[in-house]
């Protein structure tokens, strides 16, 4: 076994649990977190020459950053794979709730582009870049649509809730 393999094994034993906690914190799914840790340690192996020692403060930070970024990338990947929920204002909020009915009515009154951008972003949880890709618009335009929709909703709902 060469020095790199021995060092990575020591790093693995020292930080595997921490890496899992970091990944699980982002993904909220045990299987996905395990996948993220595996991918992260593969990346750590590929860049192991950058580390001065198998353990230590800098190594720990490197493991946490690589694991967190890997988990975020996996989360974005899994989000793209899931089907979109219906993008109708009727699906927002609790049905039968008076406040929910007021909010749904206000959302229905938004221009279609603003409504779509807002629901994809706030209701479905997509980032502005993902929303832009879905809508076929530039990211800056989608950010403007979301901001405008929120401002209109705030103005419309002021004093009603």
Please state which CATH number belongs to domain 3-81: 1.10.1740
| 92-132 confidence digits (pLDDT tens) | 555 556 777 888 888 889 999 999 999 888 877 788 888 88
How far CA 152 is from CA of 111, 143, 158, in Å, comes to 10, 14, 10
How far CA 80 is from CA of 24, 117, 126, in Å, comes to 19, 16, 9
| 126-152 confidence digits (pLDDT tens) | 888 888 888 889 999 999 999 999 999
The CATH class, in words, for 89-157 is mainly alpha
**Residue spans in the chain of domains classed CATH 1.10.1740:** 3-81
pLDDT at 96: 59
Closest-CA residue to 156 (of 123, 110, 120):
110
**Residue spans in the chain of domains classed CATH 1.10.10.10:** 89-157
């Amino acid at each position: 076994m060469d020095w790199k393999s021995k060092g990575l094994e020591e790093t693995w034993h020292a930080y595997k649990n921490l890496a899992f906690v970091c990944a699980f914190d982002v993904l909220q799914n045990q299987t996905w977190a395990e996948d993220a840790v595996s991918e992260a340690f593969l990346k750590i192996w590929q860049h192991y020459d950058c580390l001065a020692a198998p353990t230590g403060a800098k190594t720990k930070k490197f493991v946490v950053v690589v694991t967190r970024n890997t988990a975020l990338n996996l989360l974005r990947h899994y989000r793209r794979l899931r089907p979109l929920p219906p993008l109708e204002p009727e699906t927002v909020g609790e049905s039968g709730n008076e406040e929910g009915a007021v909010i749904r009515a206000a959302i229905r009154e938004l221009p279609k582009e603003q409504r779509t951008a807002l629901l994809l972003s706030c209701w479905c949880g997509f980032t502005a870049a993902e929303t832009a890709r879905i809508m076929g618009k530039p990211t800056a335009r989608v950010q403007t649509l979301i901001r405008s929709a929120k401002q209109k909703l705030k103005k419309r709902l002021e004093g009603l809730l």
